[in-house]
Structure 1
Amino acid sequence: MKLNNIEDVFFDLDHTLWDFDKNSALTFEYIFKLNSIEIDLSKFLEVYVPVNFKYWENYRKNLVSKEKLRYGRLKDSFEALSYNLSDKDIAKLSNDYILYLSEYNHLLEGGLEALDYLSDKYKLHIITNGFDEVQHKKMKNANILNYFETITTSEEAGVKKPHPTIFEMSLKKAKALPAKSVMIGDNYEADIEGAAAFGLHTIYFDYYNKSVYNNVLGLNNLKKINQFL
């Protein structure tokens, strides 16, 4: 099914274009060595990934602050593994993680091909709940910043997806119309429901192959984007 009359394509960044899981794992591997943390990385990630997911969910709902997210996800993970670290050490790891995360620049499979294909046909934009100081660096270091005409972050908007204000701000910056725009993202609530409620078309990027959502356009590999656009 091809979407007609589309002029602007809005992307989420993490888990949609930027390979968050791989880049995050490489960052932890580096900062653990840097700080002499002797822990099995795979066991740590097994605990950390769902903890981090839950913290981000609560952050979207304004239940935790940015600072609490950064600190709490590490503290909870180390405690679950019975690995004792002082608050000072956890704070150092939290800062190092943010400092070095954008140094890794792996994209998800098909991401670059999708951007090359779409950039010849549409105006491209980013809408992200990620932090200002990190998201721009990620795109710059991954050599994809030049593909996007506008970037809207939740910190800039003052609200997070799926709040309509962030979509309103992004479309205003892009000088785009909802009916002629499409949102592509991996988070069903934030990206798909949020964008659809504001009148945008949507394409659900099924990053984890959940395949549980009906009646929405979806794909699990960005190489297949030409099916819809």
Structure 2
Amino acid sequence: MNIKHIFFDLDHTLWDFDRNSELTFSQIFKEQNIQLKIKDFLEVYMPINLNYWRLYREDKIPKSDLRYNRLKDSFESLNYTISDDLINKISEDYITYLPSHNYLFEGTIEILEYLSKKYKLNIITNGFEEVQNLKLQKSGIAKYFKEIITSESVSVKKPNPKIFEFALKKANAIPQNSIMIGDSYEADIKGALNFGMIAIYFTHNKNKESGVLSVNNLLELKNYL
């Protein structure tokens, strides 16, 4: 592979979103005296959140609906009475507090150190503009990346080819010498492959897709790069 440019997803790929999200909700529930066990809440919230992110990615709902409805539906599923004002407060606090928790996946720093000596590294993320840059800075990994491309800055989301086109143009790269690494088969892998890039699927021990390069641990990237 004649690779010169690597494009990483951020959440669930380098930045441990689930762990940091749990810490954020724990902080908020304690502050607001919400009488629910975090584990019980997250069991309901996580699939609801994933579904709303899919709708958001497909441009079927705006960001405001994603941020409010994922909380409202979760509390309703648990039969927990809560005011709209408090849901909105939690929604705002969640975005504010989230970047202050910065656990990275095992091997993140080591693999970025290794790859940055050989390739130009970049980020393509569907996450919210206002928090993604903070996550990168506060976790100490911003220094590794040349370009940070957020879906909000391009007004389209992965797997839309326009975000890959924009990212490669900004990085002065072409599909043939560029690789995408991410955890979403739909957004990261299919999106990149359809644009003519190479892609590596970070599976987190999920089922591997046939015919697709994949790793279970970030350090396994050394086998390919």
Match of 2:212 in 1: 216
Give, as a single letter, the amino acid of the residue that structure 1 aligns with 2:71. Answer: L
Match of 1:57 in 2: 54
CA deviations on 1:45-78 (whole Å, 9 max, x unpaired) are: 0000101000001100111110000000000000
Match of 1:110 in 2: 107
Q: How does 1:60-209 map to 2 (within 5 A)?
A: 60-207=57-204, 209=205
Give, as a single letter, the amino acid of the residue that structure 2 aligns with 1:62. Answer: D
Q: By how many angstroms is 1:212 displaced? A: 3.8
> TM-score if structure 1 supplies the norm length?
0.97
Match of 1:40 in 2: 37
SS of the residue corresponding to residue 149 of structure 2 reads strand
Q: Which runs of 5+ in 2 are unaligned?
A: none
Q: By how many angstroms is 1:87 displaced? A: 0.4
Q: By how many angstroms is 1:113 displaced? A: 1.1
Q: Which runs of 5+ in 1 are unaligned?
A: none
Q: By how many angstroms is 1:202 displaced? A: 0.4
User: What is the root-mean-square deviation of aligned Cα atoms in Å?
Assistant: 0.6
CA deviations on 1:70-114 (whole Å, 9 max, x unpaired) are: 000000000000000010010000000000000001001111111
CA contact (8 A) 2:127 2:151 kept: yes
* Distance in 2 of aligned mates of 1:54 and 1:79: 16
* Distance in 1 of aligned mates of 2:56 and 2:106: 28
Runs of 4+ residues over 3 Å off in structure 1: none
What is the number of residues matched between the two proteins?
225
SS of the residue corresponding to residue 125 of structure 1 reads strand
SS of the residue corresponding to residue 102 of structure 1 reads helix
* Distance in 2 of aligned mates of 1:140 and 1:212: 32
> TM-score if structure 2 supplies the norm length?
0.99
Q: By how many angstroms is 1:223 displaced? A: 1.1
CA deviations on 1:128-151 (whole Å, 9 max, x unpaired) are: 000100000000000000000001
* Distance in 2 of aligned mates of 1:212 and 1:149: 30
Q: By how many angstroms is 1:35 displaced? A: 1.2
